[in-house]
């Protein structure tokens, strides 16, 4: 049995947010017999809006592991500049984590939705002789340069680059949910032997027994035709404009329906685009609970996921919705121009170039004309891949090999 600390500023529990990667990995590592602590910020933009963060306990036991919250300043959304202040406060308070908990870990993993906290995680791990693992989920600062438009010469970008390079050099092992990330990491001087790919996954016990949709939500999903679902955040990076533009090219197929489920900064703009185009085949539904996502997908015939056309994605992709879509048994329409495409890898749908509405409309026509048996075959390919490659119980055993050498 090893004492393992997993540090991710944006972690949550199923009662406060999506739960997600580190909740499930912590749960499964605890089931393997380890003493697991998951450390997160008390406040962040990925928590549910109805959660009173002031009332959350500093420490609680969640499904066999300990969840620790570190106080940080409040900020309103992902684009609020106070979010960066929260990064630095979280990092400063991480330095006190060992004193706060009164124990020494055997392994410390720092996950980098932002990389600043790595500096404190390294100090904590080295101070008590613990194994140090750096986990990359977004490649920083490359993401800010490629997607955010920042100059590589910006002082803050240079600071983040120094942290990234330091982490690749000093960490005992490096993990990423991006399958091809090692290709980038070696260009920054990392030894490729340090790398392990561990995908985002699914919890079979949850997807096997999804919660039913409320009657008013279920009533908004058409009962006939080809129903294409998108579930998740409605943001620029999700390329939903491409989907709506494709829908405008399908007016001659009135039985094709696009169902967009979720909230986000782009929702009002997307709805306005739908209304100006006078599209009757695009339906917006409010966000559903995580345990209801599979019920939405079960009521539809295909799933959509899209990306920007960016060189950033040549290292792979790791959206949580990918394993969720695969396990649904529905074929996936993928608007993507990067590398390590799971839809192509597992033959579980149709991939078209990112940002190309005409190509996406053609793919939808292909799916519309496709025999049901072929649709089912592709969907079943994805479902088999989900249980074989994305089961968090299996992923946790791979993580255990990294954490406990």
Distance of CA 371 to the CA centre of its chain: 32
Question: Is 105 in a helix, a strand, or coil?
Answer: coil
Going residue by residue through the chain (405 aa), what tens digit of pLDDT does each one get? 899 999 999 999 988 987 789 999 999 999 999 999 999 999 998 888 889 999 999 999 999 999 999 999 999 888 888 999 999 999 999 999 999 999 999 999 999 988 999 999 999 999 999 999 999 998 999 988 887 889 999 999 999 999 999 999 999 999 999 999 999 999 999 999 999 999 999 999 888 889 999 999 999 999 999 999 999 989 888 999 999 999 999 999 999 999 999 988 899 999 999 999 999 999 999 989 888 999 999 999 999 999 999 999 999 999 989 999 999 999 999 999 999 999 999 999 999 999 999 999 999 999 999 999 999 999 999 999 999 999 999 999 999 999 997
Nearest to 353, CA basis, from 255, 258, 246, 254: 246
In the chain, list all ranges with CATH 3.40.50.2000: 3-201+391-403, 205-389
CB 294 within 8 A of CB 317: no
List the structure tokens of 238. Answer: 């999700």
DSSP, residue by residue, 158-177:
HHHHHHHHHHHHH-SEEEES
Rounded to two decimals, the pTM is: 0.92
| C-alpha to C-alpha distance for 317 and 56, rounded to whole angstroms | 32
Query: Under DSSP, is residue 45 helix (H, G, I), strand (E, B) or coil?
Result: coil
pLDDT of residue 337: 97
Q: Which CATH number fits domain 3-201+391-403: 3.30.70.360, 3.40.50.2000, 2.40.30.30, 3.40.710.10?
A: 3.40.50.2000
Residue 295 near residue 212 (C-beta atoms within 8 A): yes
CATH homologous superfamily of domain 205-389?
Glycogen Phosphorylase B; (3.40.50.2000)
pLDDT given for residue 148 in this prediction: 81
pLDDT at res. 126: 96
CB atoms within 10 A of CB 149: 7
| pLDDT attached to residue 54 | 92
Q: Decide if 366 contacts 374 (C-beta within 8 A).
A: no
């Amino acid at each position: 049995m090893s004492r393992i600390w997993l540090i991710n500023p944006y972690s949550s529990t199923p009662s406060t947010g999506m739960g997600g990667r580190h909740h499930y990995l912590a749960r499964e590592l605890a089931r393997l017999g380890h003493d697991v602590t998951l450390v997160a910020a008390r406040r962040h933009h990925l928590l549910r809006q109805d959660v009173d963060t002031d009332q959350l306990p500093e420490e609680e036991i969640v499904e066999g592991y300990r969840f620790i919250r570190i106080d940080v300043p409040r900020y309103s959304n992902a684009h609020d500049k106070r979010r960066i202040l929260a990064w630095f406060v979280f990092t400063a308070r991480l330095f006190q984590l060992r004193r706060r908990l009164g124990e020494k870990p055997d392994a410390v993993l720092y996950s980098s939705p932002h990389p600043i906290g790595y500096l404190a995680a390294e100090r904590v791990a080295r101070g008590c002789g613990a194994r140090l693992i750096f986990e990359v989920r977004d490649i920083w600062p490359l993401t800010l340069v490629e997607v955010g438009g920042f100059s590589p010469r910006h002082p803050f970008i240079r600071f983040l680059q120094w942290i990234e390079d330091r982490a690749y050099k000093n960490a005992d092992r490096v993990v990423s949910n991006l399958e091809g990330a090692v290709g980038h990491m070696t260009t920054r001087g990392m030894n490729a032997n340090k790398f392990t790919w561990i995908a985002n996954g699914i919890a079979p016990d949850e997807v096997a027994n999804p919660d039913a949709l409320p009657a008013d939500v279920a009533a908004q999903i058409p009962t006939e035709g080809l129903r294409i679902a998108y579930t998740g955040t409605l943001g620029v990076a999700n390329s939903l404009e491409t989907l709506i533009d494709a829908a405008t090219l399908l007016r001659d197929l009135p039985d094709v329906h696009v169902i967009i489920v979720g909230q986000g900064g782009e929702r009002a703009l997307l709805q306005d685009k739908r209304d100006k185009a006078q599209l009757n085949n695009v339906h917006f539904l409010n966000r559903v609970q995580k345990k209801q996502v599979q019920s939405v997908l079960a009521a539809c015939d295909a799933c959509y996921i899209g990306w920007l056309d960016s060189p950033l994605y040549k290292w792979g992709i790791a959206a949580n919705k990918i394993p969720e879509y695969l396990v649904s048994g529905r074929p996936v329409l993928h608007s993507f121009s990067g590398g390590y495409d799971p839809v192509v890898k597992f033959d579980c749908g149709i991939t078209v170039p990112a940002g190309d509405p005409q190509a996406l409309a053609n793919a939808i026509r292909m799916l519309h004309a496709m025999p049901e048996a072929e649709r089912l075959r592709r969907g079943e390919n994805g479902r088999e891949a989900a249980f074989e490659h994305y089961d968090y119980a299996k992923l946790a055993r791979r993580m255990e090999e990294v954490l406990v050498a």
